Amino acid sequence: MASSVLEAAWTAADFEDRLRRIGRERYHDRHPFHLKMHRGELSRRQVQCWILNRFYYQKNIPIKDAIIVSRLRDREDRRRWIHRVVEHDGAGGDEGGIEAWIKLGEAAGISGATIQDESNILPAVQFAVDAYVNFCRLKTVEEAVAASLTELFAGALIAQRIEVIEKHYRWIKPEGLDYFRRRVSEAPRDARSALEFVLRNARSRQDQEKAVAALKFKCDVLWSLLDAVELACSES
């Protein structure tokens, strides 16, 4: 990394291409567990296990976003980012994404009390998610924002997930899909804002490479989460 200090920065187009390439190569839509899900090969228990453990990630999203907001020095940047906390925590009669995920669990036969009980979360899932929150706390704010750019790749996966559940997992009640319907439009909008911030603020080659590494790290977090779920919830 140190040798890159003297190297010329990538152009904005090349930098963005390198970020998007990470999604094509490392995003968790390629994980075997997701591939099985999309083919309709998961059991009810496996889907419930995924919903239950993924909730720990969902409930920590507004926490990491609040950390990022507290570190943004520009008021306009804070204004653009703070809505993410509200989207997940809810406000003004909108229950938010966290509550929507609890309703997904209930639609899949998991009680609200069970899904909110952290003692049910796999240790490896908790470790991976906590590592992401700490990353956003300890790294530069540019790296923290860059790590969120998995949203660049999330829109298509979320739309596909709705189709997959409606086709293969009809035992999940339709009202449980509200979370995904919300995120189909929210994720691309959030991704555009975060990408603009990273392209604007990571101007040296060193900062650009740190941003690329941050996005790789986040992909590893999501991949590790699925590794843990796949191993613990195997039907074999």
- Write down the domain spans for the chain: 2-232
| Mean pLDDT within 47-55 | 98
Question: Could you give the percent of the chain with pLDDT greater than 90?
Answer: 89
Higher confidence at residue 206 or residue 7?
206
The per-residue DSSP string of 29-92 comes to GGSHHHHHHHTT---HHHHHHHHHHHHHHHHHHHHHHHHHHHH--SHHHHHHHHHHHHHHH-BT
Q: Class for domain 2-232, per CATH?
A: mainly alpha
pLDDT (tens digit, 9 = 90+) per residue, 99-157? 999 999 999 999 999 999 999 999 999 999 999 999 999 999 999 999 999 999 998 89
Question: Mean of the per-residue pLDDT values for the chain?
Answer: 94
pLDDT (tens digit, 9 = 90+) per residue, 177-202? 999 998 888 888 999 999 999 999 99
Question: Could you give the percent of the chain with pLDDT greater than 70?
Answer: 97
